[in-house]
Amino acid sequence: MADPHIVSLGCRLNIAESETIRALLAGRDTVVVNSCAVTNSAVAETRAAIRRARRDRPAAEIVVTGCAAQIDPASFAAMPEVDRVIGNAEKLSPQAWDASAPVVVGDIMQVRDTAPHLASAFAAHARAFVEVQNGCDHRCTFCAIPYGRGNSRSVPAGGVIDRISALVDAGYREVVLTGVDLTSYGPDLPGAPSLGMLVERILTHVPKLERLRLSSLDSVEIDDRLFDLIAHEPRILPHVHLSFQAGDDMILKRMKRRHSRAQAVALVARLKAARPDIAIGADLIAGFPTEDATMFANTRALIDDCDIVHAHIFPYSPREGTPAARMPQVAPDVRKARAAELRAAAATRKASWLRTLVGTEQDVLIERPGDRGHAGNFAEVRFPAPLPSVRPERVEGRVPGAGASTGSARTEWVGEVARLLITATDGLTLHAQILPRQGEVSPQATEGAETPPSRSSHTPPPPSRSACHLPLAGEDLVPNHSAPSLQKAIA
């Protein structure tokens, strides 16, 4: 019996939802395209994925869901390759998948609650993604996502804690909290808890959770409680992604963002002062309507002023029905050129940062296919040497993404955390060697390789589990899409 194939485009929230869909459709010959609508390019990529799916599996049922399908269901239903269209609110409901109607799309603005997903495993991912929030109450002038996701709503803390506990018991060592506007968590719940309060409860009630990563944050909504947790809690990984979008005050005002350039720079300065090893990521839009050369230069300078080493750069994409689409537009070739200049500046900044990590020790989550991964600061790490054949003592159950079906020693390590010595960088990724456990000799040492002096720069795991002093690494956090969300990075 054929298994469902899920094509997940765009944000990390889509990744989490795709795994629930996979569980709902077990045993069905269905291809689901979980779409993105953050840019016009994302919508075009959705259409390309639909056509490719029909070519690859001509007999399968093709279903389109996600933000693009929610916003414009009729256009997707009209595609000859598509059998059904299911809305964002309905896609996690078994009843919607069992219905016969070709279009099952309700009014997303009427949805008032959300719930933790049922997925207990994440195909091809070494980390787990847990939705804690959905929707957005803000109306940035460039953004169509609220019309695909609806108004902001939060998952009660008890459900989040139960989900994370189950994932940790299943073997996951890193969990990512996801949402459309993650920092708006809580006002719709009894007592109006904040995201910081939720994180505190997770860390208290799931003591075996080793690595907690937060997806994109709106800088203006980071309160003192959340700031202190990010700055001082070792189980929260030293990496934040901030939805800055621009570095010029007039452009920020026209975007209807709620922070100023000075506030963005001040926040990063405070984070760096409190936790010097923290890595800063950000979304930036090039060529927003009315942007002139001086305004663009201010955004370009923000990369250095905020030490942005994980930059998501997008040329502005006018979305039909948004206020920005009616503003005076920057020429498409200028938008494209400015985006290229931002990417080049960000690449230079990242390469400089990666060079500072050479000689440090990093705890790396091993990802598929078993020769790469990401450190806590989200630097990608690659490791070329063969893996030890003996598995670590830590294993208590299944390992996420383990290659039991293939018997591959390399994939058997996927989902483990390895302490690696960073030996070099090519400007894009880090390269590392095994740090042997006590009494062992690294494979590189036996071949006469020189080992540079190390500077410890890892986040120590909690006492309940120790990092495996072994090699490896893994897959990108956001699959199948070159443009993660612009909005509060639904990531």
Residue 475 has pLDDT above 70, yes or no: no
Asked if pLDDT for residue 484 goes beyond 60, the answer is: no
Is the pLDDT assigned to residue 402 strictly greater than 80?
Answer: no
Q: Strands, E, within 355-447: which ranges?
A: 360-367, 372-375, 380-382, 417-425, 430-434
Whether the predicted pLDDT of 50 surpasses 90: yes
Per the model's pLDDT, the better-predicted residue between 287 and 145 turns out to be 287
Indicate the pLDDT class of residue 333, thresholds 50, 70 and 90: very high
Q: Where exactly does CATH 2.40.50 map onto the chain?
A: 357-456
| CATH class of the structural domain 110-347 | alpha beta
Confidence (pTM): 0.80
Q: What is the pLDDT of residue 400?
A: 52
- Give the mean model confidence (pLDDT) for residues 98-126: 70
CATH 3.80.30.20 in the chain, residue ranges: 110-347
Task: Please report the pLDDT score of residue 99 as a whole number.
Answer: 87
- Contact present, 278 and 376 (Cβ < 8 Å): no
> Which pLDDT tens digit goes with each residue over 135-169?
899 999 999 888 888 889 999 999 999 999 999 99
Q: Report the alpha-carbon distance of residue 181 to residue 184 in Å, rounded.
A: 6
Strand partners, 32: 6, 63
pLDDT, mean of residues 384-406:
46
Asked if 317 contacts 39 with a C-beta cutoff of 8 angstroms, the reply is yes
CA-derived radius of gyration, the chain: 22
Distance CA 264, CA 426 (A): 30
**Top-confidence residue, 79 or 479:** 79
Tell me the mean pLDDT in the region 20-34: 87
User: Rounded to whole angstroms, how far apart are CA atoms 20 and 85?
Assistant: 17
- How much is the pLDDT for 450? 41
Three-class SS state of 102:
coil
Q: What pLDDT does residue 144 have?
A: 87
Average pLDDT on 371-390 reads 81
423 vs 3, which has greater pLDDT? 423
DSSP letter for each residue of 297-319: HHHHHHHHHTTEEEEEEEE--PP
Ranges of CATH 3.40.50.12160 domains, the chain: 5-106
422 has a pLDDT exceeding 50 = yes
Q: What is the mean pLDDT of residues 64-92?
A: 90
Residue 387 — pLDDT band, cuts 50, 70, 90? low
Which range scores top for mean pLDDT: 138-147, 191-200, 431-440, 451-460? 191-200
Q: Which distant-in-sequence residues (6+ apart) come within 8 Å of 347 by Cβ?
A: 427, 428
Comparing 365 with 399, the larger pLDDT belongs to 365
pLDDT for 490 equals: 29
Q: What is the mean pLDDT of residues 399-427?
A: 70
Output the average pLDDT for the chain. Answer: 83
Q: Residue 27 pLDDT more than 90?
A: no
When mean pLDDT is compared over 22-26, 140-144, 293-297, 390-394, the highest value belongs to 293-297
Note the pLDDT of residue 15: 78
Its CATH architecture, for the domain 5-106, is 3-Layer(aba) Sandwich (3.40)
Quickly state the pLDDT bin for 115 (edges 50, 70, 90). Answer: low
**Cα–Cα distances in angstroms (integers) from residue 396 to residues 170, 198, 208, in the given order:** 9, 27, 12
CATH of domain 357-456: 2.40.50
